[in-house]
Chains A and B, each alone.
Chain A
Amino acid sequence: GESVGLHLPTLSVQEGDNSIINCAYSNSASDYFIWYKQESGKGPQFIIDIRSNMDKRQGQRVTVLLNKTVKHLSLQIAATQPGDSAVYFCAENSMDSSYKLIFGSGTRLLVRP
């Protein structure tokens, strides 16, 4: 079936370095992608989104890249801070699937001081 998956279950980075979290998706009809951050004991929080008519979108210290050719999504975090330590999920959605919002398995980001 259709799925959204991640390459790396855990990513450890030095404080101040840039982080890159990857995600592969399989539904070529997906037209909306979202990155969420989940801190321990809390619900997922929206970070940034991108629609399929774009290949890059920037926020505050975060950038999402979308490569539709290889169905790949990435989240880049600049100057990673201790407060960025969390689990990050990508999610996909599409009008074709009646907005059935599907999540990937997640990547845990650990920031070393």
Chain B
Amino acid sequence: NAGVTQTPKFRILKIGQSMTLQCTQDMNHNYMYWYRQDPGMGLKLIYYSVGAGITDKGEVPNGYNVSRSTTEDFPLRLELAAPSQTSVYFCASMKGNTEAFFGQGTRLTVV
């Protein structure tokens, strides 16, 4: 069972570069989430989606963009990478008000 798949697992970006973090789930879940986790800290919600075509801001959306053109995919876009965006990024999906399933994370370093 694939569950939630994130790519890439690791990435180093230079300041000002752009990239897209990919997230896909095969569980037909309506709800999808992007979180960032700084070292030794908790998970902060960046953006979330309650279904295809619908996205909304979380706690820390600045510097990021998302889209949800299909149920399966929820990519996270960084347009102008900054050192403050160095973090581990987790994608999650959920079916209604039940447990969320997480991917294994993308470790991003901006230098």
Contact = CB atoms under 8 A, between A and B. Distances in A.
Interface of A: 31-32, 34, 42-46, 49, 51, 89, 91, 93, 95, 98-106
Interface of B: 31, 33, 35, 41-45, 48, 50, 56, 58-59, 90, 92, 94, 96-105
Nearest to B4: A43
Contacts of B96: 99
A22 to B, nearest CB: 15
B103 A43 contact: yes
Q: Is the interface of B mostly helix, strand, loop or mixed?
A: strand
Contacts of A31: 97
A101 B102 CA distance: 12
A102 to B, nearest CB: 6
Closest 3 CB pairs of A and B: A43-B102, A105-B42, A103-B43
Contact of A103 (B35, B48, B98): B35
A100 B58 contact: yes
A95 B97 contact: yes
A89 B41 CA distance: 10
A102 B96 CA distance: 15
Given A99-B97, A100-B58, A103-B35, A44 B104 contact: no
